[in-house]
Amino acid sequence: MPPRKLDAAAPGFERDFQAFLGRNREADENVDRVAGEIVADVRARGDVALLEYTNRFDRLALADAAGLRITDAERRAAAATVPAHQREAIAFAAKRIEAFHRALMPSDVDFVDSTGTRLGARYRPVDSAGVYVPGGTAAYPSSVLMNIVPARVAGVPRIVMVVPTPDGLVNPLVMLAAEIAGADEVWRIGGAQAVAALAYGTASIAPVDKITGPGNAWVAAAKRRVFGQVGIDLIAGPSEILVVADGRNDPAWIAADLLSQAEHDASSQSILVTDDAAFADAVVAAVEAELRTLARAEIAAASWRDNGCLIVVPDLAACAPIVDRIAAEHVELAMEPGPAEALAGRIRHAGAIFIGRHTPEAIGDYVAGTNHVLPTSRAARFSGGLGVADFLKRTSLVSCTPESLAALGPAALALAEAEGLGAHGRSVSIRLNRRG
């Protein structure tokens, strides 16, 4: 069954588009309730609760809490089994991710203004970061790199990785990525219980200051619950891709791009925006053909059928407002270089933009160097992807001389008086009166 199709020139488009934007692909309230109960339980019972949940959800019975940690020797042994070509690919990706994120490092600011007041800002890393890596049905060494490498570049002293290992199976690719990226600790825990352990700590696991990384609905719900106790990167929802494509593309290329996100999860979303209705039909046919070749065809087909969308517009050059309202995680512009660059310049809301016919989104997932931990569910309207800044804190610096305090003081006194905060004003006036 093909996905829904919208025509931007049709009279009812605005109503139908609003309904499309308002559809909820997130988990239900029951997930939040259960995640909250797990978080509270781990906070109260620590390692004992972790052992019980690991047995229950991952079918892994451990004798004691010491078994929750994947030792350095164990992960090195697993990493050593990775074939050379995969080892080289992970190392290649790690170098590119590091280079890009080093370019994002902010510089400290320190200057003296016209009043003689010294002003500045300095960036310092958090003391510890917890990185959640999905496990189970798929292995994501790329997620290890995308989270740990920026933390290392930022200078975080302690990086803790958690990853579920159902039935006790440790994934060699994930262990190799942890070695290359530089994880200090790796624990075989997952789900809401892992988030709770990172946030509140247990007898075995020291708490962290920030938690990053994608996970399932229970992980996302747990991150919401612990925010404030710790920092978090973002609440990751189902994956998304929006492809803007003209009719001169190969439909098979665009079909493959749309399915690259649909295969993640049945709740994922793939959207095609085109100015050619016949091309849209050709892409639908190409998706059907491509689905017959995919290992995760059932998942991808459900995503495409239930959440996919074709939007036909009169003019691709003028489609930026539609793209911005969707504010997708990934936006591909499969057009000629000139029009693609021009459209990219007009798009304001997107997690990441991939420009040109030869830039599939999957390059960003793995080796471009940019980060694939990106805002979903229209959150690109107000946030961006994971980067070094997520592991840094900015501290402001202020230093007055007697002369600069005299220049700033009267305005401060006036504002303190207006706000009715006498001690604020007194802390300034007492110094002005004693000046000299």
- In this structure, the answer to whether residues 73 and 202 fall within a common structural domain is yes
**Domain-embedded: residue 80:** yes
CATH of the domain at 222: 3.40.50.1980
Do 198 and 67 sit in the same domain of this protein? Answer: yes
Residues 58 and 205 in one domain: yes
Number of neighbours of residue 152 by Cβ within 10 angstroms: 20
End-to-end Cα separation, the chain, in angstroms: 83
Split at pLDDT 50, 70, 90, the class of 246 is very high
pLDDT at 435 exceeding the cut of 60:
no
Q: How many domains does the chain have?
A: 3
Confidence of residue 159 (pLDDT cuts 50, 70, 90): very high
Q: Domain containing 83: what range?
A: 29-108+121-232
Domain boundary residue among 181, 213, 232?
A: 232
Residue 135: pLDDT over 90: no
Within-domain flag for 221: yes
Average pLDDT of span 347-351: 98
Do residues 322 and 222 share a domain? no
Q: State whether 38 and 84 are in the same domain.
A: yes
**In the predicted structure, residue 243 carries a pLDDT above the cut 50:** yes
Same domain, 288 and 313: yes
At residue 23, the pLDDT reads 81
CB 179 within 8 A of CB 76: yes
| DSSP summary character for residue 13 | H
- Beta-bridge partner residues of 120: 110, 397
* Helix (H/G/I), strand (E/B), else coil: 30: helix
In the predicted model, what is the mean pLDDT of residues 360-383?
95
- R_g over Cα of the chain: 25
What does the pLDDT average to over 183-209? 97
User: Per-residue b/e over 98-121, b at no fewer than 16 CB within 10 Å?
Assistant: bebbeeeeeeeeeeeeeebbeeee
Q: Which amino acid is residue 36, in one-letter code?
A: G
Could you give phi then psi for residue 395, rounded to 5 degrees? -110, 125
Residues 52, 101 within the same domain: yes
Pairing of β 185-187 and β 210-212: unpaired
* Strand ranges (E), 216-290: 231-232, 240-245, 269-274
Return the DSSP state at 169. P
Asked, for residue 174, whether it belongs to a domain, the answer is yes
Q: How far apart are CA 230 and CA 210, in angstroms?
A: 5
Residue in the block written with tokens 């998706």:
287
Q: Is 422 buried (19+), middle (13-18) or exposed (0-12) by CB count in 10 A?
A: exposed
- Given this model, what pLDDT does residue 25 score? 67
179 in catalytic set: no
Helix, strand, or coil here: 272?
strand
d(CA 169, CA 165): 5
pLDDT digit string (tens) for 85-106?
Answer: 999 999 999 999 999 999 999 9
Q: Are strands 392-399 and 118-125 parallel, antiparallel or unpaired?
A: antiparallel
**Residue % of the chain over a pLDDT of 90:** 91
Residue 329 annotated to the active site: yes
Contact 372, 146 (CB under 8 A): yes
Structural domain contains residue 382: no
Query: Per-residue pLDDT for 416 more than 70?
Result: yes
One domain for residues 152 and 225: yes
Q: At what angle do helices 251-262 and 297-307 cross, to 10 degrees?
A: 100
**Which range among 128-132, 137-141, 255-259, 363-367 shows the weakest confidence by mean pLDDT?**
137-141
Asked, for residue 373, whether it belongs to a domain, the answer is no
Same domain, 413 and 322: no
Tokens of 295: 């290992």
Residue 2 — pLDDT band, cuts 50, 70, 90?
confident
Task: Let me know whether 226 and 262 are in one domain.
Answer: no
Catalytic pick among 101, 240, 263, 330: 330
Domain boundary among the residues 210, 232, 254 is at 232
Q: Is residue 10 classed exposed, middle or buried when 0-12, 13-18 and 19+ CB atoms within 10 A define those classes?
A: exposed
Q: Which of 95-99, 195-199, 296-300 has the lowest mean pLDDT?
A: 296-300
Distant-in-sequence, close-in-space partners of 130: CB < 8 Å, separation ≥ 6: 160, 161, 162, 198, 199, 208, 210, 211, 212, 230
Last residue of a domain, one of 206, 232, 258: 232
pLDDT at 436 over 60: no
Domain-located, residue 375: no
Q: Which residues contact 205 (CB under 8 A, 6 or more apart)?
A: 47, 68, 160, 185, 187, 197, 198
The neighbour count for residue 430, using CB atoms within 10 Å, is 9
Span 28-44, mean pLDDT? 91
In Å, how far are 35, 70, 144, 173 from 191, measured between CA atoms? 9, 17, 16, 20
Please report which helix (H) or strand (E) contains residue 162, including its range: strand 158-162
In the set 185, 240, 263, 329, the catalytic residue is: 329
Q: Is residue 389 part of a domain?
A: no
Q: What is the mean pLDDT of the chain?
A: 94
Average pLDDT on 146-170 reads 96
Residue 288 CA from chain centroid, whole number = 30
pLDDT of residue 27: 57
Token reading at 275:
């100015």
**Which residues sit opposite 161 in a β-bridge?**
131, 186
Nearest alpha-carbon partner for 256 in 291, 228, 204: 291
66 is a domain residue: yes
- On whether both 51 and 144 belong to a single domain, the answer is yes
Q: What dihedral do alpha carbons 130, 134, 139, 141 form, nearest 10°?
A: -30
Reported pTM: 0.93
Shared-domain flag, residues 41 and 132: yes
Tell me what pLDDT residue 265 has.
87
